């Protein structure tokens, strides 16, 4: 019996027609015309809405096209996917990007892996700072207890009561520390397409990047009730688990976009994402739709990759870096001008899950990562919304400005500046300081006129997208170095097609040497300070025909 051809792989294209003609049947006819009536397995190409049930016209324009293609080691599926994206974009006059897993967030090792505090990203049995021995040190580091003691205005509540926090992660478990914190009426599983977001807690032996239990780890920082050993920042908030990933490292941006939409439509007032990738236009659209409806959206800056990953890198999303018990930056935290604020992320006590045990073992352990920093800020956001009440905030600043009002107050009142923060220049890399709930909650709500709206193009221009992964370069330096990499003129970089820019961002995010060849000062690496022929050879090993043709 003949088995399945191992060189056949699945691809997903994320498509948004540019004109008004975005009817699904016409899109399907266009796909059949461009890609053929059947994929490599003889099946019709699947065309489905990226945001099922969406009522917003802008969300209704986004589609997923999926099927099987021939690929192999000599010309892998990422190159084929970008070739398909380029031809569909050209022939159908559409914005198109492949939905490819990205490893931009940084690996979190298993519990028995690296032990050095500067090297580990997950649980560690190594040396921890003495200030992190107390299981509730994070609650005190952001002065949450003092915030709980503040009397709320009329209609307000304490400890995050009544606030739904959407956790876009690996789903929920039965860990005893989170009893009473989950919503089992509103949860959703994007991966399986059902209403049960239970984390299956499977760590595939051949897939070291799996993150079983990660959603439980981050949720415990937000909302542990305090009945056991752990206490969350907002112990009366309700966590809505939206299962969208098996690994916070290998992220499919289309699934994350769907998860943001599902959290939004289920009434979450805060959406937190302890994950990251390269991002795409549909994820930004989903975040914008949530912001317009009065939702606060935030994401982890990233781990061990040096750049702020998407969606944290988007201007519409609050980017959170990680600090430690000494109020200093965690060495593994991503950093850069895109970071808005920091929160504890090193040696954070969480409701831990060991998926290797049978049955899975629940315990309390210390973990590292910006995953826990953004979870901490999500808890603070829940405290702020509950304290003032969402209705009162909306009445004051307008529904579309709730996110902007929260960020405005975090920057103006709701943070503390530790000793040395300014002297070391950390405000340029790790945000205004460390979030302070007790200073945030009593701050007067701003006037709508005082808020600066987030201005960003619908599709980021090529230089802006490339700048997100080429940290430290000015816009003109990005033009010059990318132009030399591609063998074209600097002004041509501004006119690169979306699919070409998407592939460049993907390749630069995945290949540290390629990225270093464009960003490192002279003498730091073997490549020249400008990429030239050596860096072009690195790119040519992985670039699609479409990218080479674009330049």
Q: Is residue 424 flagged as an active site residue?
A: no
Q: Is residue 158 flagged as an active site residue?
A: no
Sheet hosting strand 8-17, strand order edge to edge: 46-49, 63-70, 8-17, 94-98
pLDDT of residue 331: 94
pLDDT of residue 106: 59
The rounded distance, in Å, linking the Cα atoms of 175 and 113 is 23
pLDDT of residue 454: 63
pLDDT of residue 528: 45
Which has the closest alpha carbon to 127: 146, 137, 139, 114? Answer: 114
pLDDT of residue 522: 54
pLDDT of residue 119: 30
Q: Which residue in the list 62, 175, 188, 214 is annotated as catalytic?
A: 214
β-pairing, 434-435 vs 415-416, is antiparallel
The rounded Cα 372 to chain-centroid distance in angstroms is 13
Sheet hosting strand 415-416, strand order edge to edge: 188-189, 238-243, 164-169, 270-273, 296-300, 318-323, 341-344, 434-435, 415-416
Q: Which residue in the list 123, 169, 210, 255 is annotated as catalytic?
A: 169
Which has the closest alpha carbon to 266: 211, 190, 209, 175? Answer: 190
Q: Which residue in the list 120, 371, 502, 544 is annotated as catalytic?
A: 371
DSSP string, 481-536: HHHHHHTS-GGGGGG--HHHHHHHHHHHHH-HHHHHHHHSPTTSSSS-SS-HHHHH
Token pair listed for 416: 């503390």
Distances (CA, A) of 240 to 93, 195, 215, 350, 507: 38, 11, 11, 18, 34
pLDDT of residue 104: 61
To which H or E segment does residue 59 belong? helix 57-60
The parts of the chain modelled with pLDDT lower than 70 are 1-4, 21-22, 103-126, 453-459, 520-534, 551
Distances (CA, A) of 347 to 343, 344, 363, 429, 484: 12, 8, 15, 21, 43
Secondary structure (3-state) at 164: strand
Angle 484-490-496 from CA coordinates, rounded to 5°: 95
- Average pLDDT of the chain is 90
Sketch out the chain's domains with CATH numbers: 8-98 (3.30.70), 130-450 (3.40.50.200), 462-550 (no CATH)
Give 32-35 contacts, CB < 8 A, sequence gap 24+.
Answer: 33/91, 34/87, 34/88, 34/91, 34/92, 35/65, 35/67, 35/84, 35/87, 35/88
Q: Is residue 371 flagged as an active site residue?
A: yes
Residue with tokens 């490819």: 100
Token pair listed for 226: 């305090």
pLDDT of residue 472: 84
């Amino acid at each position: 019996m003949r088995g399945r051809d191992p060189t056949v792989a699945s691809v997903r294209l994320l498509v948004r027609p540019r004109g008004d003609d975005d009817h699904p049947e016409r899109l399907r006819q266009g796909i059949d015309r461009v890609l053929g009536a059947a994929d490599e397995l003889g099946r019709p190409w699947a065309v489905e809405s990226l945001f099922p049930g969406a009522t917003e016209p802008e969300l209704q324009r986004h589609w997923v096209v999926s099927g099987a293609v021939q690929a192999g080691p000599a010309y892998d599926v990422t190159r084929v996917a970008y070739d398909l994206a380029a031809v569909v974009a050209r022939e159908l006059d559409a914005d198109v990007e492949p939905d490819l897993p990205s490893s931009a967030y940084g690996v979190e090792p298993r519990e028995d892996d690296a032990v050095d505090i500067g090297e580990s990203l997950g649980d560690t049995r190594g040396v921890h700072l003495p200030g992190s021995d107390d299981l509730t040190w994070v609650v005190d580091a952001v002065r949450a207890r003092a915030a709980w003691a503040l009397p709320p205005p009329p209609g307000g509540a304490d400890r995050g009561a009544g606030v739904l926090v959407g956790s876009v992660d690996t789903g929920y478990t039965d860990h005893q520390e989170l009893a009473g914190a989950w919503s089992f009426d509103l949860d959703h599983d994007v991966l399986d397409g059902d209403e049960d977001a239970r984390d299956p807690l499977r760590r595939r032996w051949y897939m070291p990047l799996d993150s079983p239990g990660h959603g439980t780890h981050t949720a415990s920082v937000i909302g542990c009730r305090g009945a056991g050993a752990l206490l969350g920042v907002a112990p009366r908030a309700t966590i809505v688990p939206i299962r969208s990933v098996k690994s916070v490292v290998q992220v499919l941006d289309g699934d994350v976009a769907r998860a943001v939409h599902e959290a939004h439509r289920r009434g979450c007032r805060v959406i937190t994402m302890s994950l990251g990738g390269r991002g795409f236009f549909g994820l930004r659209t989903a975040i914008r739709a949530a912001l317009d409806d009065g939702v606060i959206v935030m994401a982890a800056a990233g781990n061990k990759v040096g750049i702020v990953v998407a969606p944290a890198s988007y201007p519409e999303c609050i980017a959170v870096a990680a600090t430690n018990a000494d109020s200093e930056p965690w060495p593994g935290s991503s950093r850069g001008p895109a970071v808005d604020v920091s929160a504890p992320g090193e040696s954070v006590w969480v409701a831990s899950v060991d998926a290797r045990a049978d049955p899975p073992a629940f315990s309390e352990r210390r973990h590292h990562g910006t995953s826990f920093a953004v979870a901490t800020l999500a808890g603070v956001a829940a405290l702020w919304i509950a304290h003032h009440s969402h209705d009162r905030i909306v009445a004051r600043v307008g529904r579309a400005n709730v996110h902007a009002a929260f960020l405005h107050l975090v920057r103006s009142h709701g943070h503390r500046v530790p000793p040395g923060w300014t002297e070391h220049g950390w405000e340029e890399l790790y945000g205004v300081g460390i979030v302070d709930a007790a200073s945030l909650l009593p701050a007067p709500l701003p006037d709508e006129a005082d808020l600066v709206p987030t201005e960003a193009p619908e599709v980021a221009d090529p230089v802006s997208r490339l700048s997100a992964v080429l940290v430290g370069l000015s816009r003109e330096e990005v033009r010059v170095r990318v132009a030399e990499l591609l063998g074209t003129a600097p002004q041509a970089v501004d006119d690169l097609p979306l699919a070409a820019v998407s592939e460049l961002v993907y390749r630069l995010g995945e290949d540290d040497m390629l990225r270093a060849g464009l960003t490192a000062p002279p003498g730091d690496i073997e490549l020249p300070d400008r990429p030239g022929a050596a860096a072009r050879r690195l790119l040519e090993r992985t670039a699609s025909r479409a990218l080479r043709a674009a330049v």
